[in-house]
Amino acid sequence: MNRFLRSLDSREQVAALFFVVFGLLVIASVSATLATFRRREPLDEAWHLELRHLRQLLATSWVMVAVFWFGWATGETMATILFGLIAFFALREFITLSPTRRGDHHSLVLAFFVVLPLQFWLVATRRFDLFTVFIPVYVFLALPVASALSGDTQRYLERNAKLQWGIMVCVYGMSHVPALLLLRFPGRNYDGKQAFLVFFLVFVVQACMLVQHLVARRFTRPPSLPAVSASFNWQGAAVGVLAGSVLGAALSFITPFRPEQALAAAFVACVAGLLGHLVMKALKRDRGVTSWGPRTLSITGANGLLDRVDALCFAAPIFFHTVRWYFGVQTG
C-alpha cells in the first residue's frame, strides 16, 4: 500500500487523498441518512437532535471539502481567489455585528475593496516579505488616517481598533492559508504537494476543535471561563490539543516534516486555533450575540461562516510563520 502510494506522482497522491476524504464523507452521509429511517422505541428526542447536529456538521464538511477540492483542481491562483472570497464573507459578518458610524465609510471601502484584494494579490504573486507586513504595518497606520480625514472623532480609537481587528482576523489570518500552497521546501521533494500542507492544517485544527467540543459535551464540567464561554474548560481543551497533535504526528507522511516535527507543528496550530476560537467567543459575548450568523428564524443567504473559520484564521498565520522560520523553510 505504502509502496503503491509512493509510486504515484504528487498530483496523483493529492487526488488519492481527496478520493479517500470524499469516500469517507459518502460513507458518513449514507449512514447518517440510513439512521434517520431507523425506528427508536420510545421515540428519543435527544437522539434525533444529536442526529440533526451530525447532519449539519456533515453538510458543512461537504462544503469545505468541495471548496478545497475545487481550489486544488483549479490551481494555486484559483485557490487564492477562493480563500479571498471566504475572507470577504467573513469580514462582512464581522463588520455587520460591529456597529460602525457614518464616518467609517471610507475606511470600510478601503478595507473591503483595497486592502483585501491587495493582500491576496500579494499572496498570489508570492511577495512574501511584503505580504507579512502589509497589513500590520501599512494598513494599520493608514486606516486611522482615513478615519481622521472623515472628521468624526467620536469613539475614534474604539472604531479603528474594531476595523483593524476585523482585518487582522479575517483578511490577514485567512490569507495565510493559501500562502501555505506557495512554501518551498528545498531538498525535501515536496513541490506540488503543498495542498497536503493546507489539508494537514485544516484537518488537525478541525479535529482539535471537534474533540474539544465532544469532550466538553460528554463530561459536563463547570466552564473554566464562564464569562467567555459556557462550554469551554481546560480539560477538554487539553484533550483536544493532544488529539490534534497526535493526529498531526500520524499524518507526518503527507507533510515535509519528520513525525516529531509534525507533532510540534500540529501542537502549535491547535493551541493557536483553540485560543483564537476563545478570543472570538469573547468578542461575540462583548457584542451580545452567540454566533456571527444572522439571528434565528428561517432565512436565506450565507451565514455563520466566521464561526466555522475563526480557529483557522488564528492558526494559519502562526502555523505559517512557525514553519517558515523554525523549520528553516524558504519561500519563493
Partner 1 sequence: MAAKAFGLFLLGLIRVLTGSQARWYGCPPKAEQRIYFANHQSHADLVMIWAALPAELRSITRPIAAKDYWTKSPLRQWITTAVFNAVYVDRERKGDEDPLVPLIDALASGDSVVIFPEGTRGAGEEPQAFKSGLYSLAQKFPDVVLVPAWIDNIQRVMPKGEVVPVPILCSVTFGAPIRLEPGEERRAFLDRARAAVIALREI
Give the separation between CA 258 and CA 255, rounded to whole angstroms: 8
Which string of x and - marks every residue 95-134 that binds partner 1 (by CB under 8 A)?
Answer: xx---x-x--x--xx--xx---------------------
Q: At 331, give phi and psi (nearest 5°).
A: -120, 160
- Give the side-chain half-sphere CA count within 13 A for 147: 23
Instruction: Answer left, alpha or beta for residue 222, where phi above 0 means left and psi between -120 and 50 means alpha.
Output: beta
Query: In this complex, which beta carbon is closest to partner 1, that of residue 66 or of residue 302?
Result: 302
| Radius of gyration of the chain from its Cα atoms, rounded to whole angstroms | 21
Selected binder of partner 1 within 117, 223, 259, 294 (CB under 8 A) = 294
Query: In this complex, which beta carbon is closest to partner 1, that of residue 40 or of residue 101?
Result: 101
Number of residues binding to partner 1, judged by CB under 8 A: 22
Torsion, Cα 184 185 187 190, to 10 degrees, reads -80
Q: How far is CA 176 from the centre of its chain?
A: 10
Selected binder of partner 1 within 42, 301, 328, 332 (CB under 8 A) = 301
The interface with partner 1 within residues 42-101 (CB under 8 A) comprises 88, 91-93, 95-96, 100
What separation in angstroms does the CA of 319 have from each of 77, 202, 237, 260, 325? 21, 11, 18, 15, 10
Least Cβ distance, residue 102 to partner 1 (angstroms): 5
Give the list of residues 6+ apart from residue 7 with CB closer than 8 angstroms, or none: none
Query: In this complex, which beta carbon is closest to partner 1, that of residue 189 or of residue 290?
Result: 290
The interface with partner 1 within residues 213-252 (CB under 8 A) comprises none
Query: In this complex, which beta carbon is closest to partner 1, that of residue 39 or of residue 102?
Result: 102
Least Cβ distance, residue 113 to partner 1 (angstroms): 7
Given the rule CB under 8 A, which residues bind partner 1?
88, 91-93, 95-96, 100, 102, 105, 108-109, 112-113, 294-295, 297-303
